[in-house]
Structure 1
């Protein structure tokens, strides 16, 4: 068994996509829209078929509260690892 998908809640999916791809080097894996809903995921270029990270819009009150509570407590929503920080 392995983890296939996890998510982080974001305020702006376009800005999040730019950050995760342009700054962190992830690749866009899925990008589908259905009305106002957008399913957007990124993956590591080292494991393109590995775990996907969904960049989920925090337009749900529960998601917004969760995101704000984690931020207020200084808790990470996601931990990433790299061999080369540069």
Structure 2
């Protein structure tokens, strides 16, 4: 068994697509109309085009707002993405105007940082600690 697809709820799929591709660097894999305004919109890492897909899921279900608002209020990321160097990625993303709620934090075996994805979610980035 392996993870094939995971999702993040987004308020606006077009806005999310711009942020996740133009700022974060993911690439679009599937973009299929579903209903009148929604899309089956998935992204992948350019480093793993056949890897796990990220679905930009419309946040239309009534419970989603409560769920996401509570996670954000409590500072809990909805998802985590791996990067080679959290500090370098933090600097790159800050330079592009991304707002961080947690600066890079050394947590022993990993370094993490948390940012606002502009679509209603907190996202954590993490990298393995470098050998000391």
Residue number in structure 1 paired with 2:29: 29
| 2:16 is aligned with 1:11 | no
* Residue 40 (structure 1) aligned with residue 41 (structure 2): yes
Unaligned runs of 5+ in 1: none
Tell me what 1:79 maps to: 80
Q: Give the alignment's TM-score, normalised by structure 1.
A: 0.91
Gaps of 5+ in 2: 93-132
Q: Aligned to 1:38, what secondary structure does the other structure show?
A: strand
CA distance in 1, matches of 2:40, 2:76: 25
Identify which of structures 1 and 2 has the higher relative contact order when contacts are C-alpha pairs closer than 8 Å and 6+ apart. Answer: 1
Q: Name the counterpart of 1:61.
A: 62
Give the root-mean-square deviation of aligned CA atoms.
1.2
- 2:65 and 2:29 mapped to 1: Cα distance? 24
For residue 65 of structure 1, report the CA deviation from its aligned partner.
Answer: 1.8
Q: How many residues are matched?
A: 86
Please report the TM-score for the alignment, with normalisation by the length of structure 2: 0.61
Structure 1 stretches of at least 4 aligned residues deviating more than 3 Å after TM superposition? none
Q: Residues 30-55 of structure 1: CA distance to partner in whole angstroms, max 9, x if unpaired?
A: 11112233211110000011000111
Matched residue, 2:106:
none
Higher strand share: 2
Larger Cα-atom Rg: 2
Q: Distance in 2 between matches of 1:40 and 1:51?
A: 13
